[in-house]
Amino acid sequence: MLFSGVAQHFSKVEAIDSRLEMSGEIAGLLQGCKPSEARQLVYIMEGNVAPSHEGLDVGIGEKFAIRALAKTSGYTVHRVEADYKKSGDLGATAEALLAKKAQLSLSSSENTLSKVYASFLKIARMSGAGSQEAKIGVLSELLNGATPLEAKYLVRFCLGKLRLGVGDPSIIDALSMARHGDKTDKAVLERAFNLCSDLGEVSEVYLSGKDLSRFSAAPFKPIRPALAERLPNAKEIIEKLCSDEKDEGKTPIISRKCAVEAKYDGLRMQVHLKDGEVEIYSRKLEKMTHMFPEIVEAAAALPAKNAIFEGEALAYSAREKKYYSFQQTIQRKRKHGVEKMAEDFPLRLFAFDIMYLDSEDLTLTPYLERRKILEKLVRNNKAIVPSDLIYTDSPKKLDEYFQRALSEGLEGIIAKDLVQPYVAGARKFAWIKLKKSYGELADSVDAVIVGYYLGKGAREEFKFGGVLAAVRNDETGALETIAKIGGGFTEEEMSSLAEELEKIKTKEKPRGVISKLEPDFWVEPKIVITVAADEITLSPMHTAGSVGGTGYALRFPRMVSMRDDKSPADATTVREVISMFEMQRRKSAQ
C-alpha cells in the first residue's frame, strides 16, 4: 500500500466530526491493507511505532524536523521557521513548502506504508553519538519521496501531533466495520485489546480471519486494569452485589456475600513473571521495573513459572510501623537514586487480584477462586502480601469496615462480586468503591488539563492563575470541560505546573476538546489531576454531558494532587459524573 493513499484517507478523516463517519473512513483504509500492514497502520494512527508499553519513541523534536524539512525542500531553516511561525502547524508548513519545492530531487522512490513504518521504527531504535543526525537523514529520505500531503502527516507524526482525532474506540469500530460492515465484533475486539494492550497485534490477528474469542492474556503484555463503579453507601453496595432477585415489592433478597477490601492510596502495579524474569507496569501500562528492586526480587521468588497479578504498593516504615501517603510513595517512581529511595521508602505491595498463573488465563475465573489462588501464591512473602479484606452480606459490617479503613488513613474500600470474572479495561459493577466524602460528592474527579490561565495579583510571578479541566466522554472520545480550577495549588506546584504547561501549550484548541470557555493558552491534553469539589452542579458555561446548552460543573473545585500515574484515558468519564450527580441528589433527599 502506498503511503500517499494513506495520507489521502488521513486528510478525509481530519475533516470529519462524526465518530461513526470517521470509523467508516478508516474501515475503508483497513480493507485495502494486508494484515501485517494493518498492524503498522494502527500503530501510526495511535501515534506510535509499537504498543505504548514498549516505550519506543520516535524522538524527533521540532528543531530536527525543521532541519530535515529544510534539507529536503531546498529552503533555508530560517524560511521554514518563519512559515511555521505563521501556520502554527509544522505539518502544514511541510505540505506548503514541498508543493513549491525550491530544488528537484535527483532520485526518489514512492513511499509505501511498510517503508514509512520501518523508517520510523529505525529512528525510534537509534541512540548514542550521531543518532540525531542519522534520524534527520532517515526523515529527509522519507520527505524526499513524499507528496506534499504525505509530508504533512510524516512531519506531524514525528512531533506526536497527527491531529486525526482518532482514538482506540474508533479504530476498534473500524476494524469490525472492515470485516462485517457494522460493529458486530466490537465486544470481542475490545476484550482482546484489553488483554494485551496492543491494538496493532489485535488488528493483524483479526484481519487474518482468526477467532479472537480464544485470545488470551500472556506475560509481558500488560492487561488494561479493571476499574470500579461507585455507590454512595453500604446499603446500596450490598443490595447490588449480594442479591440475585427481587420480590414483588422490589425489596432485594440478599442471597450471598461479597468481598470488602481495603482501598490503598498508593502506586497501582501490574507484575508479570516468566521464567524468573520480572516486569512491573504502572496504571498507565508503562514499564517501571527498575524503580522497585525489592518488588522485583520478591516477585522472582514466588513459586510460579509465570504469572500476572496486580496490587497497590505503599511506602512502608518498618521502624515506625506505618504507611506513608501517596505523595510520599510516588517519590519512589523515579529514574535516578533508586537504591537510596528503596532504603528510605521501602515498598510493600498489597496484591489484590491475579489474572494469569502457570500458563493459564484466569481472567474468566470467578473472583473468589482467583483470590484463593492469589493468597496461596504470595503466602510467606514479606514484600508482597494479600490485601486486607472481609466477606460479608451485612451493610452494617461493611460500613464498620469502611470507617475503620478511613481511621487508618486509607482511601476507603472496594467491594467485589465473588462470582464475577476479571473485567479488563472496563468499569463494571463487579467492583464498587466507597471513598471518603468530598462535600456532597461521593468521590474526587480525575480531570485532564486542556488549558491554563495566567496569574494575576499575587500569582503573577508564577505565570499561572489556574487551569481549565475536562472529563472524558466515553461515547464520543471528546474531552468536555467541567471546571476552571484556581485553588488547591501550593506555590511549588504552581511554579512546576506552569513550566510543564508551557512545554505543551498550543496555538489552537486541541482536536476533540469541547469548550465554551477560552483559556489564555490551550495545551495538549496530557496532564491528569485529581480534583475535589463541594458538589456537582448544572452550568451553561461547561460542556460535560451538555444537553440543551447546559452541562455539569464542579462547584468550588480545588486540586488534590497531580496524577503522574494516570493518562487521559484514565480520566473520569461523563457517565461517571452523571452517576455521581444522581448519587448526590439521592443523598440530599435523605
Q: What CATH code is carried by the domain that includes residue 556? A: 2.40.50.140
Bridge partners of 2, per DSSP, are 112
The residues near 86 (Cβ < 8 Å, ≥ 6 apart) are none
Domain with residue 124: its CATH number is 1.10.3260.10
CATH code of 379's domain: 3.30.470.30
User: Is residue 191 situated within a structural domain?
Assistant: no
Residue 569 lies in a domain: yes
Residues annotated as part of the active site: 263
Where does a domain end: 159, 189, 209?
Answer: 159
Q: How far apart are CA 90 and CA 81, in angstroms?
A: 9
- Residue that is written with C-alpha cell 439521592 in the block: 586
Q: What is the DSSP string of 160-197?
A: T-------HHHHHHHHHHHHHSSSTTHHHHHHHHHHHS
pLDDT at 458: 56
Are both 496 and 457 inside the same structural domain? yes
| pLDDT for res 19 | 87
Q: Greatest CA separation found in the chain? A: 83
Give the pLDDT confidence of 308-362 residue by residue, as tens digits.
999 999 887 666 767 776 666 766 666 666 677 666 677 889 999 999 999 999 9
Residues 363 and 453 in one domain: no
Are 484 and 574 members of one domain? yes
Pair 572, 563: CB distance under 8 Å? no
pLDDT for 388 equals: 93
| Lookup: cell for 519 | 483559556
* Phi, psi angles (nearest 5°) of residue 213: -65, -20
Q: Residue 42 domain-assigned? A: no
Q: Which of 337, 370, 347 is nearest to 267 (CA)?
A: 347
CB atoms under 10 Å from CB of 110, counted, come to: 12
For the stretch 233-245, pLDDT in tens is: 999 999 999 987 6
CA–CA separation, 352 and 354 (whole Å): 7
Higher pLDDT, 107 or 133: 133
- For residue 345, the model assigns a pLDDT of 72
Cα(136)–Cα(122) distance, rounded to whole angstroms? 12
Spatial separation of the C-alpha atoms in residues 57 and 286, rounded to whole Å: 13
Residue numbers of the domain that contains 402? 258-435
List, as one string, the DSSP characters of 214-282: G---BTTBPPPPPEEEE-SSHHHHHHHHHEEEE-TT--EEE-S-EEEEEE--SEEEEEEEETTEEEEE-
Burial of 481 (0-12, 13-18, 19+ CB in 10 A): buried
Of 260, 300, 296, nearest to 281 by C-alpha is 296
What is the rounded CA–CA span in Å between residue 522 and residue 363? Answer: 41
Q: Are residues 488 and 537 in the same domain?
A: yes
- 485 and 413 housed in the same domain: no
Among 97-101, 189-193, 236-240, the least confident range: 97-101
Per DSSP, helices labelled H in 447-507 are: 491-504
Whether 455 and 489 have beta carbons less than 8 Å apart is answered as no
Asked whether 90 and 155 are in contact (CB, 8 A), the reply is yes
On whether residue 331 sits in a domain, the answer given is yes
- Whole-angstrom CA distances from 302 to 111, 276, 279, 357, 569 are 49, 9, 14, 11, 32
Final residue of a structural domain among 136, 159, 182: 159
Decide which of 126, 159, 192 is a domain's last residue.
159
Coil, strand or helix: which one is 268? strand
The reply to whether 425 and 288 lie within a common domain is yes
pLDDT confidence bin for 63, thresholds 50/70/90: very high
Q: Mark whether 264 and 363 lie in a shared domain.
A: yes
In a domain, 186, yes or no: no
User: Residues 502-512: what's their mean pLDDT?
Assistant: 89
What average pLDDT does this structure show over 72-79? 93
Between residues 100 and 68, the one the model is more confident about: 68
> CA–CA separation, 384 vs 298, rounded Å?
7
Let me know if residue 247 belongs to a domain.
Answer: no
Output the nine-digit C-alpha cell for 494. Answer: 504552581
Bridge partners for 269 per DSSP: 311
Q: Are residue 513 and residue 576 in the same domain, yes or no?
A: yes
Distance CA(467)–CA(451), nearest Å, equals 6
- Give the C-alpha separation, 104 to 448, whole Å: 45
Distance of CA 562 to the CA centre of its chain: 15
Provide the β-strand partners of residue 354.
309
Do 370 and 467 share a structural domain?
no
- The pLDDT confidence band at residue 507, using thresholds 50, 70 and 90, is confident
Q: How many domains does the chain have?
A: 3
Distance between CA atoms of residues 449 and 460, nearest Å: 20
The answer, yes or no, to whether residue 101 has pLDDT greater than 70, is yes
The predicted pLDDT at position 165 comes to 85
Clarify whether residues 418 and 453 are in a common domain. no
Residue with cell 509499537: 50
- Least confident range from 56-60, 187-191, 286-290, 572-576: namely 56-60
pLDDT on residue 102: 58
Q: Is residue 167 part of a domain?
A: no
pLDDT on residue 344: 67
Which of 105-119, 137-151, 556-570 shows the lowest mean pLDDT across its residues? 105-119
- Let me know whether 390 and 464 are in one domain: no
User: What's the pLDDT band for 248 if we cut at 50, 70, 90?
Assistant: low
Q: How far is CA 358 from CA 257, 273, 395, in A?
A: 29, 10, 37
Which tens digits make up the pLDDT trace of 41-62? 999 999 999 998 998 988 788 9
Q: Whole-model pTM?
A: 0.87
The pLDDT score that the predictor gives to residue 105 is 58
Residues 453-472 have pLDDT tens digits of 987 765 556 568 899 999 99
- Secondary structure (DSSP) of 452-510: EE---GGGGGGT--EEEEEEE-TTT--EEEEEEE-BS--HHHHHHHHHHHHHHEESSPP
Cell numbers at 151, concatenated: 509530508
- 8 A C-beta contact, residue 530 and residue 500: no
The neighbouring-strand residues paired with 484 are 468
What is the pLDDT, as a whole number, of residue 163?
87
Q: What share of the chain is helix, strand, coil (3-state, %, to 5)?
A: 40, 25, 35
CB atoms closer than 10 angstroms to residue 565:
19
- Are 467 and 534 in a shared domain? yes
Number of neighbouring beta carbons within 10 Å of residue 125? 12
Q: Could you tell me if residue 354 is inside a domain?
A: yes
